[in-house]
Structure 1
């Protein structure tokens, strides 16, 4: 029982109990010995691995996969004031620049939204850009004015920041929909029609009830 518990080998304990029963001997002691040593067999292996790591592994040998990644990521806010990008879509602005960036938030008239590549930039818009530290100065020339706020701290409440956003998917099917007569829906700019129905992706819409959509067929 002690051997089976130390090696966490319960099948061997079962075989030993069966053998003891056939020999008409008491098998309770074997069960008790296994119950006492089984936790040590589990915890002992874990403690042994920790001890080996502490004794033989140096901190410099342990890889830090996120260190280099965090070093190359920088979040910065810009105010659109460059006339060259006003009225242009994010896709067009990205095509003009050879710097890599992602616009994760856009504020317009106090409303926050998650822009798409087709979203247009207007004068006075505030955009939250994810880029590398080396590209910040070039992007400041591209977008306009840099807002002096540190977005790279750990105390930013992103849930409160995104409290105005709505993430919702609605699938509307038309009973008489055919390839020539497909369903179409109109709800701000959040539309996508297919021959089988209309899919509205409301994650980029302003926080308004979906009931304000005007449904039509074409």
Structure 2
């Protein structure tokens, strides 16, 4: 781009190199350009004095463009904030609330003993509080299965729920008392259910919520937890996903394979930087 502007405007290429380095606040780039120019001029026999004068012109252009490169970013941020009417206090509050609701995930078992939920669909029971917990599995008459949103609850159902410490009391109020069941009882059943970690590697998933993806209804699996930067989060429907997130998915193995394709699950791709967004800043 710098060379194209040089050709179109006729501006000295050394000056344009300094402007480019200053515009992107690239001091190492400035040093490399100066050293390259100096070495080439000395090699051509033009002398140290001429080389010093030439490199100083690059530095002068850099000094002029650098403040604009810094201030331009700040001005653009202020401009877009005003255009899109961003309330920073409100955004901060949303982030704080997401952290409070998302961290400290715990896994607990409950026995359905609340008559108010007998014969009701899970979607009806969790309508107002579905962002506080996730029902991972249900055991009914010894049979283990992954619930769907239209699964009807019955008295005596045993639920495996993932929730936060702050919301644990709510699950007890909705369904009944917590019961003692080991992980082995939930995981080592004859039912063809497996739990697997799947990594989000597709950029198209970034910014989409679990509610948008609707994997439970489409694939018959449950996303119970999300691991992000070492933090374990409850897989709430309104949780937005990012590349690099690891999801704990429970369901039939063939369905989990399909979900893995949806999210990518190719760890090797995480080691390759996405240069296009970096190029455009």
TM class by smaller structure: 0.3 to 0.5
TM-score normalised according to structure 1 size: 0.40
Tell which structure's C-alpha radius of gyration is larger: 1
TM-score normalised according to structure 2 size: 0.33
Higher helix proportion (structure 1 or 2): 2
